[in-house]
Amino acid sequence: MDKIRIVGGNPLNGVIPISGAKNAALPLMISSLLCDDTLTLENVPRLRDVALLTQILSNHGLDYSVDGKRAGQDTMTGQTIHLNASNIVDTTAPYELVSKMRASFWVIGPLLARMHNARVSLPGGCAIGTRPVDFFIDGLKALGAEIDMDRGYVKAEAKGGLKGGRVVFPKVSVGATHTVMMAATLAKGESVIENAAREPEVTDLANCLIGMGAKIEGAGTDTIHIQGVDRLGAHRHPVIPDRIETGTYAMAVAMTGGEVTLEGARGDLLESALDILRQTGTEITETNMGLKIRRNGAGINPVDISTEPFPGFPTDLQAQFMALMTRSKGVSKITENIFENRFMHVQELARLGAKITMDGQVASIEGVETLRGAQVMATDLRASVSLVIAGLAAEGETTVSRVYHLDRGFERLEDKLSRCGAVIERISA
């Protein structure tokens, strides 16, 4: 298995292009199942999760193609993919595929809406928590679906099609909002989703669905109204820039010092995280190119954070922020409110010399003068990248194993960082 080797201590200086958002691209790709015409997505990142989802959607009968390189395009530009699900041949999403990626469970919404039935494997637990699917089931039932659980599969049926309904989520869920919103676009009559997720990826999906002909109002607020239509049609849509990749590199610069422009980044997608970074002593400026991140000289101020649904501080940046706080000039507290088991990076950061104590969902981090390179590994994507950030600021050599986690969500990580002066390379096993 590949490893990443880092020799820490260099500041980062230069330009890092920000890729299309993984967590926007995945539901956008799934939405292609709603229509019998071609959905073209631009700025799709080259990631393992994207490749895996293409494979999963192909199993339902989706045809896809990827545009080749165009004149003047460099290898850092996202890809354009064409997805056509005119011929859905299978409404079952099997365990072997769904268990590899939780988001593939979301196909249940479009399949049910368009084909009036779906049989989708339960995704099971994962490294960051139990992650049940009760909100999806209750939401689809509110749209008239009959749902049975059968040997690890959710069997959903809507004879004669889904009907508009009122869905009130007990807690904010990104995936359940995506799924019910997609399903409601083809239901008869009006649906309302209350306590909807307000994440930019939900708004991006809604904008794409509107381009395909859906009638949706209120995406980006906690109440979404959807008026069902008979069919959706062809559309071309660019994926929004990745706010988690943006925040990750901003934290890397805050940690190592230096000055980096995050090309194509949009500050409005992560204001709460940028506010917190400013409080740590990092300068952030919006420019025509994106966001300029700079920290020179002074130490890192400790800042307390709590993860919250958007527009709060994202759970997907919690591990990276913890890495930054390990070098702060005092004590900071991090409270994880979204997932119950998202602290696997704590013991690995400790291997680098971090001082962290846990009390339930709250981590207290006492900043240290120096981190020292070590061998580390992590069991999820964001935890893995937090170790890379810490390694960039640590003295000596760090190796991060289980790199396949990073490949799920960070496009050309080592390339982007080494162009800014980091000593980082992939060691192929």
**What residue ranges bind ligand EPZ (CB under 6 A)?**
23, 26, 102-103, 129, 131-136, 171, 173-176, 315-316, 338-339, 381-382, 409
* 171 labelled binding-site residue: yes
Which CB atom, from 52 or from 350, has the smaller least distance to ligand EPZ? 52
* 174 labelled binding-site residue: yes
Least CB distance to ligand EPZ at residue 397 (A): 27
CA distance 16 to 23: 19
Please state, as a whole number, how many other Cβ atoms lie within 10 Å of the Cβ of residue 168. Answer: 14
Least CB distance to ligand EPZ at residue 73 (A): 26
Task: Indicate the burial class of 116 (C-beta count within 10 angstroms; 0-12, 13-18, 19 or more).
Answer: middle
Strand partners, 156: 118, 147
Which CB atom, from 102 or from 163, has the smaller least distance to ligand EPZ? 102
CA distance 289 to 266: 10
Give the SS3 label for residue 398. strand
Least CB distance to ligand EPZ at residue 378 (A): 12
Q: Is 35 an active-site residue?
A: no
Least CB distance to ligand EPZ at residue 155 (A): 17
* 316 labelled binding-site residue: yes
Least CB distance to ligand EPZ at residue 15 (A): 24
CA distance 174 to 103: 10
* 7 labelled binding-site residue: no
Among 35, 126, 208, 420, the one annotated catalytic:
126
Residue ranges of alpha helices (H) inside 296-364 are 318-325, 345-351
* 167 labelled binding-site residue: no
* 49 labelled binding-site residue: no
Which CB atom, from 195 or from 315, has the smaller least distance to ligand EPZ? 315
CA distance 17 to 37: 32
- Going from the C-alpha of 415 to that of each of 130, 242, 398, 421, the distances in angstroms are 34, 17, 17, 10
From the DSSP assignment, how many helices (H) and strands (E) are in the chain? 14, 24
Which CB atom, from 147 or from 229, has the smaller least distance to ligand EPZ? 147
Point out the residue whose Cβ comes nearest to ligand EPZ. 175
Which CB atom, from 173 or from 261, has the smaller least distance to ligand EPZ? 173
Please state, as a whole number, how many other Cβ atoms lie within 10 Å of the Cβ of residue 403. Answer: 22
Binding-site residue numbers are 22-23, 102, 171-174, 316, 338
Binding-site residue numbers for UDP-N-acetyl-alpha-D-glucosamine are 102, 171-174, 316, 338
Active-site positions?
Answer: 126
Binding-site residue numbers for phosphoenolpyruvate are 22-23
